[in-house]
Structure 1
Amino acid sequence: MASKAKDLRPIIKLKSTAGTGYTYVTRKNRRNNPDRMVLKKYDPVVRKHVD
């Protein structure tokens, strides 16, 4: 079985850019998206969609 360090789809944390400390946890495919991932998600602390 593959080790966690070399996993093809590692678990990553998406931190809110609003500075609230709110995080989403998701998986990322290293082969399709080798660069840093930016998604627009809802931050319930500021009640807005942020990057």
Structure 2
Amino acid sequence: MARTTVRPVVRLKSTAGTGATYVTRKNRLNDPDRLTLRKYDPVAARHVVFREER
């Protein structure tokens, strides 16, 4: 059975420019735009905004 594409895997990249990434899933029906989450950046050692890259 094929996996549905309603919840694709997306990569979140740090806006601090450190190159840190997170991998998560998002619901395209609820969040059709690019996903932005505030998460911990271990390279910068603080919380920063992570934005979905395409």
With structure 1 as the length reference, what TM-score do the two structures score?
0.87
Larger radius of gyration: 1
* Count of equivalent residues: 49
RMSD, aligned α-carbons: 1.3
Q: Which runs of 5 or more structure 2 residues have no equivalent in the other structure? A: 50-54
Residue 2 of structure 1, CA deviation: 3.8
**Normalised by the size of structure 2, how large is the TM-score?**
0.82
Question: Percent of aligned positions with the same letter in both sequences?
Answer: 65
Q: Identify which of 16, 19, 36 aligns with 1:18.
A: 16
